Amino acid sequence: MNSESMSPGATGDATGQDGGTALLEFREVNTHYGAVHILKDVNLSIYPGELVCLLGGNASGKTTTLKTLLGMVTPTSGEVVLDGEVVNGQPTSYRVANGVTMVPENRRLFKRLSVKENLLLGAYLRNDKAGIEEDLEYVYGLFPRVRERLAQKSGTLSGGEQQMVAIGRALMSRPKVMLMDEPSMGLAPALVQQNFELIQQINDEGMAIFMVEQNANMALSIADRGWVLQTGRVVLDDTAEALLANPEMRSAYLGES
């Protein structure tokens, strides 16, 4: 699984410092649930090869952001753009087929299916058998433990093993950008560091990753850039390094005074 890595600057514009075009972006996106205004004039951009994180407290709009990127929520105004194409009216299946994949919160594996069956579900929109086999081998290389458990029911795996399968399943769609919803949630503390190291490895191999995560310190330690949402608005937008050093960020989200 090869992907071309690029290193755009910390900018909300559609073009990075190297002239690369954003893979996925929001342009002045507003969303509502009935009369409740959730996302408010949000601008986001994810470029090829980047690892970016979205931080914020409960009810800040992080989940709605992911649902809007995936097509589960339609903006009331603004544009969702995938690889240069406005996809507001396109369903989730179209977005997956065109390069967006998701590692959901709490893994959400099909627990009665085997590990291999769960992995193959990630490739359900593909019909290139040789490519699917190639990508299975890529996943096995990333997660040797997964290869050892291919016939095992996924519901019998540990939390860490289930996370490996969930990431592997997402990779099987051969995405351009991977969305991750709270990847550390439900993992034993000893596994959290290992999980973030795996995420960083996948990113280092060229995969663009957009991660929603409560563990701000850990997320920013591996990210290129980050945004902070507060009641549906982006209140901070900077490089990960700058966010880690930001006094406001340290006080509000990193638990430091």
Q: Considering the domain boundaries, does residue 13 fall inside one?
A: no
What CATH number is associated with residue 208? 3.40.50.300
Handedness of CA 189, 191, 225, 230 (dihedral sign): negative
Distance CA 100, CA 173 (A): 8
End-to-end Cα, the chain, rounded Å: 44
The residue-averaged pLDDT of 42-62 equals 93
Percent of the chain with pLDDT over 90: 56
Residues 158, 91 share a domain: no
Single pTM value for the model: 0.86
Given 122, 147, 174, the domain boundary residue is: 174
Domain range for 151 is 109-174
Distance CA 40, CA 197 (A): 33
Residues 162, 183 share a domain: no
Q: How confident is the model at residue 17 (pLDDT cuts 50, 70, 90)?
A: very low
The amino acid present at 134, given as its one-letter code, is E
Q: Considering the domain boundaries, does residue 142 fall inside one?
A: yes
Q: Considering the domain boundaries, does residue 15 fall inside one?
A: no
Has residue 202 got a pLDDT over 80? yes
Has residue 143 got a pLDDT over 80? yes
Residues 138, 38 share a domain: no
Cβ(179)–Cβ(103) under 8 Å?
yes
Residues 166, 41 share a domain: no
Residues 91, 164 share a domain: no
Residues 86, 32 share a domain: yes
Cβ(40)–Cβ(34) under 8 Å?
no
The amino acid present at 119, given as its one-letter code, is L
Cβ(56)–Cβ(230) under 8 Å?
yes
Handedness of CA 242, 248, 249, 250 (dihedral sign): positive
The residue-averaged pLDDT of 43-68 equals 93
Residues 254, 151 share a domain: no
Span of 16-20, 49-53, 75-79, 253-257 with lowest mean pLDDT: 16-20
Say how many domains are in the chain. 2
The amino acid present at 130, given as its one-letter code, is A
Higher per-residue confidence, 46 vs 182:
46
Residues 114, 207 share a domain: no
The residue-averaged pLDDT of 187-213 equals 89
Given 174, 198, 217, the domain boundary residue is: 174
The amino acid present at 24, given as its one-letter code, is L
Cα–Cα nearest to 21, from 42, 3, 6: 6
Cα–Cα nearest to 242, from 19, 56, 11: 11
Distance CA 227, CA 6 (A): 19
* Residue 54: HSE in the Cβ half-sphere, 13 Å Cα cutoff: 27
Cβ(195)–Cβ(225) under 8 Å?
no
Has residue 105 got a pLDDT over 60? yes
Q: Considering the domain boundaries, does residue 1 fall inside one?
A: no
User: Residue 102 pairs with which residues in a beta bridge?
Assistant: 179
Residue 103: exposed, middle, or buried by beta-carbon count in 10 A (0-12, 13-18, 19+)? buried
